[in-house]
Amino acid sequence: MIIIVFKSFKIMRKTPKIIYTKTDEAPALATYSFLPIVEAFTKPAGIEVETKDISLSSRILALFPEYLTPEQRVEDALTELGNLAKTPEANIIKLPNISASEPQLKAAIKELQTLGYPIPNYPDEAKTAEEKDIQTRYNKAKGSAVNPVLREGNSDRRAPRAVKNYAKKNPHSMGAWSADSKTHVSTMESGDFFSNEKSITVAEATDVKIQFTDQNGAVTVLKEKTTLLPSEIIDATFMSKKALVKFLEEQIKDAKDKNVLFSLHMKATMMKISDPIIFGHAVTAFFKPVFEKHSAVIKDLGVDVNNGFGDLISKIQGLPAAQKSAIEADIKSCLENGPAIAMVDSNKGITNLHVPSDVIIDASMPAMIRTSGQMWNAEGKLQDVKAAIPDSTYAGIYTATIDFCKKNGAFDPRTMGTVPNVGLMAQKAEEYGSHDKTFEIQANGTVQVLDATGNILLESKVEKGDIWRMCQAKDAPIQDWIKLAVGRARATNVPAIFWLDKNRAHDAQIIKKINAYLPNFDTTGLDIQIMAPKEATLYTLDRVKKGLDTISVTGNILRDYLTDLFPILELGTSSKMLSIVPLMDGGGMFETGAGGSAPKHVQQFVEEGHLRWDSLGEFLALAVSLEHLGKNYNVPKALVLAETLDEATDKFLDNSKSPSRKVGELDNRGSHFYLATYWAQALAAQNKDADLKKIFTNVAKELAANEAVIVNELNSAQGSPVNIGGYYTFDDNLVKKAMRPSKTLNTIIAAISEVNVASKAY
């Protein structure tokens, strides 16, 4: 992740500063190779580079300074960057980071403890005040802990023209669709979040309290205070446990009857409170005989089904042989007598229900649709599938897409239109900001949201086990979102569709605001419409099939879903999208794509020394970040760097220098060499800045002359296992050595940094 920071133009440092932020997994590995190139190329423009670490391990350590020695303590970089995002000086490039599930969080804690960091264990059941404090702190690092802090603006996400043109010239594989495919989506018809939602807009600023009253009148305060701004929308809703369990049991039986794979699609990373609970009910429903027959043993073992079926498998390993065999026999019986289950890894026996973070809906559903609507079974073969998506709020977009493919066949990447997105996400908008207001209800009763004077704003009658939540959407971000949508429609002359359902309580409130605020903007000649998500999906797919472009304007979750769905169909991946976040206070954030495949990339690198992570997202984000810097702070050299980087990226794509998947061929490090070569060549060819032209003319010649040597040095480093120190906490020296194996390239890059430029950068 990169952050370009200024204190303000009037009082800013003589030298602009880039804070390049370390994240996790494959993107973090790639940073060790790409960062030195960024440092070298920006230094002649008078831009310094500094790193900030918001990796999962660093965020964990920042939570427990008193447990660490002074040498072990780390800065709270995430909080620092969150504060920066609220200033006009912010210029942030954000790479993907781990949104940790509980198993991932515990694994990171264990690794840090093994490395000598004396942090406490994560308490599964917090009973004492100390345990509750530890659990509360750790929960700050769980799930989507980074994005809500940094996203102080709405999202403008699109496929850059060069990337789209490359995809048309070099189409990715797309599985054929048949009209008789048995693949389908199953979702709840009642009792879910959609059905139970209530929503209001508060007129004045107030503080609200969330409280639960049981059937005996006993009151429990669930959250003492949530501050609301004038004209803020709040929602209250719940998922009925009874309705959910009934739905899951029916769908498991139906999958067996229809002879299709059973699969569950959730977002347990971002929806870190509600979705793991739903996931746990699915595990219990699928293996119901096991949990009924062995309930006492399973309870004694402390199995947490919210962590997935894998938690049961892990914890029975310590049982006496006879007990373990009995449970394993009943598990085998469930798998043999129930429906076939979709697999994450057929070779290793990892099912769709093993770990909540293994199957993320916005990645798993598009991948399935791209693959003829099929997923892998236990035999390692593709099979039609039932996609169970319990909450119906957004499930219809996948139903519509699957039905469209059955009727019209697979999409052709060579002729498809594109679907950019304008997403409402600023200031923890909607469901992704609900974590601290989501509760698993402990008894039958009523949940109320009360204002500062005690008036009941929202009320839900609930039962034990229901999942209740409150969401918010502030007025200023909504106005900014509408403005951004109009701006993109004007800039592209493409229809802009607000994906909103007038029959959904929350959407009805949003629609009122659109009708009130849209007239404030010049929409003359623009095609701006409001459609329910399923209707909008069919409208957009029809245009995509015809090669026409359509802007989707959505809330926070649909932003996530659609910016994977359409890019995966159009480009084969969502990692090549450009994501610009105009921050509401005047700064900018530039996100670099999805990291869902990052764990597999790390696995291959550790086993074979080949990193197939594609840094194209970083290239694209760096270019627009430099452009933002140049325009807003009058840094001409930054504009030249941005323009030439775009030219280099075009050439990079035209010459097919993206990483290969196979060991011994070009990988991430080699792709960085070619990007650097093309960037240097573009800087040498330009005539806007004589200093940069002079410096990079020599650099371009050296890189080109040593191409064969450098590529050989990079490729020769592959083929053997690599020690990186740890999965969540890298050993810097080991990774630097592994990610920069070409002495020739390192020497050329280092020489750039030694050049002195007499003229100022701005």
Q: pLDDT tens digit string along 341-395? A: 999 999 999 999 999 988 889 999 999 999 999 999 999 999 999 999 999 999 9
Query: Can you give the pLDDT at residue 596?
Result: 58
Could you tell me the two tokens for 524? 């003359």
Query: Can you give the pLDDT at residue 694?
Result: 96
Is residue 756 exposed (0-12), middle (13-18) or buried (19+ Cβ within 10 Å)? exposed
7: pLDDT confidence band, cut at 50, 70 and 90? very low
pLDDT digits (tens, 9 = 90+) for 540-596: 999 999 999 999 999 999 999 999 999 999 999 888 888 899 999 888 899 887 655
Q: What is the DSSP letter of 457?
A: E
Q: What does pTM read for this prediction? A: 0.88
pLDDT digits (tens, 9 = 90+) for 302-344: 999 999 999 999 999 999 999 999 999 999 999 999 999 999 9
Average predicted confidence (pLDDT) for the chain: 93
Helix (H) or strand (E) holding 480: helix 475-492
pLDDT digits (tens, 9 = 90+) for 690-702: 999 999 999 999 9
Phi, psi of 269 (to 5 degrees): -80, -50
Say yes or no to pLDDT of 136 above 50: yes
Helix (H) or strand (E) holding 605: helix 598-608
14: pLDDT confidence band, cut at 50, 70 and 90? very low
Query: Can you give the pLDDT at residue 757?
Result: 56
**497-507: average pLDDT:** 97
Dihedral, 298, 303, 306, 310 alpha carbons, nearest 10 = -100
Query: pLDDT exceeding 90 applies to what percent of the chain?
Result: 82
Say yes or no to pLDDT of 1 above 60: no
Q: How far apart are CA 602 and CA 293, in angstroms?
A: 39
Query: Can you give the pLDDT at residue 725?
Result: 96
Query: Can you give the pLDDT at residue 310?
Result: 93
Query: Can you give the pLDDT at residue 5?
Result: 37
Beta strands (DSSP E) in 289-377 are 343-345, 350-351, 374-376
Q: What is the DSSP letter of 556?
A: H
Is the separation of the CB atoms in 370 and 174 below 8 Å? Answer: yes
**40-64: average pLDDT:** 91
Could you tell me the two tokens for 661? 């998947």
93: pLDDT confidence band, cut at 50, 70 and 90? confident
263 strand-pairing partners: 387
pLDDT digits (tens, 9 = 90+) for 140-150: 998 888 888 88
**153-166: average pLDDT:** 91
Could you tell me the two tokens for 415? 């002729």
Is residue 315 exposed (0-12), middle (13-18) or buried (19+ Cβ within 10 Å)? middle
Helix (H) or strand (E) holding 323: helix 321-337
Q: How far apart are CA 648 and CA 675, in angstroms?
A: 6
Query: Can you give the pLDDT at residue 756?
Result: 62
Please identify which residue in the block is written with the tokens 């053997």: 720
Dihedral, 42, 43, 47, 53 alpha carbons, nearest 10 = 80
Query: Can you give the pLDDT at residue 599?
Result: 82
